[in-house]
Amino acid sequence: FGALLALSRPQHLTVNDILTRDLFIALGRWKTLYAPCHALDRLRVSIPVNLRKPDDYRMPAANVVSMVFLDRRPKDLADTERLLWGIHRQMDHIKQTGLKLTFVLCLRAVQSLPGGIARLAAVDRCSATGVLTNLGVLLEHLPLPQTEGKLTLDGAVLEGLDIVAPLRPYTCVAFAVFTYAGRLGITLHYDPHPLDARAASSLMDMYVEQILSSAEQMRPLRFWQAALPR
């Protein structure tokens, strides 16, 4: 995790930018091996976006989120630096212009139509290739003693934990990323109907390998003045 921070901060990137870029690359590599796609096909990653306000943080839990969707074609994955800066610019544009509210506003509009939500939530269509949610640093505000960043209580040490992201029908994979005790954790929730354990494990390995590769690249990146994807 520290290496990703060191890589992103001097370039005014976010860790999420790198994680999203690396997921697109891993999905592209994986599909080439297991499910070759047409050049015009799209990979779509769905990303939850935090909409919490200051008052929400005083609650034990507040599920106040929206969703944004990033699309890329296979040809967009060839230049990894351009891909990274394109994702950064797109996500920054979404945050600065309020586009992160689009999903919520669409739900509100559809809700006013008879049967609108039911049709939107139908399970007969694919809304995304995969989901990526970054939950940030876990349990950092709990008022408990720590040993090497790990929570302790009466001699017991919480060595680690797993967080699993939910899946919708026809979205085959969901990655959850989190940080605990200074270490980055990743879990994969996959649909066992289209994917077997071997295929899912291969995708997970490709994603982890790509993240490790990014963490090792401590060189300055070129700033691509990339237009937002059309």
**Each residue's pLDDT tens digit, 160-192:** 999 999 998 889 999 999 999 988 899 999 999
What total of structural domains would you count in the chain? Answer: 1
Cα three-residue angle 2-131-220, rounded to 5 degrees: 35
Residue 221 belongs to some domain of the structure = no
Residue 72 belongs to some domain of the structure = yes
59-73, 144-158, 210-224: least confident range: 210-224
User: 28 is in which domain, residue-wise?
Assistant: 2-133+194-216
**Each residue's pLDDT tens digit, 73-103:** 999 999 999 999 999 999 999 888 877 777 7
CATH of the domain at 68: 3.30.559.30
> Residue 227: its pLDDT value, please?
44
> Residue 226: its pLDDT value, please?
43
Residue 41 belongs to some domain of the structure = yes
Residue 181 belongs to some domain of the structure = no
Nearest to 221 by CA among 11, 9, 4: 11
Residue 45 — very low, low, confident or very high, per pLDDT cuts 50/70/90?
Answer: very high
Question: Cα dist. 138→27, 53, 59, 130, 145 in Å?
Answer: 26, 19, 16, 23, 15
**Each residue's pLDDT tens digit, 110-161:** 777 787 777 767 667 788 999 999 998 888 888 899 988 899 999 899 999 9
Interhelix angle 15-34/197-216, rounded to 10 degrees, is 140
Average pLDDT over residues 17-24: 96
Residue 10 belongs to some domain of the structure = yes
Average pLDDT over residues 26-43: 84
Residue 176 belongs to some domain of the structure = no
Residue 28 — very low, low, confident or very high, per pLDDT cuts 50/70/90?
Answer: very high
- pLDDT above 70 covers a percentage of the chain that reads 86
Residue in this structure with the two tokens 């270490």, named with its chain if needed: 183
pLDDT at residue 202 greater than cutoff 80: yes
**DSSP run (H or E) holding 152:** strand 150-153
Q: Between the ranges 6-20, 60-74, 130-144, where is the mean pLDDT highest?
A: 130-144
Q: Are strands 65-72 and 43-50 parallel, antiparallel or unpaired?
A: antiparallel
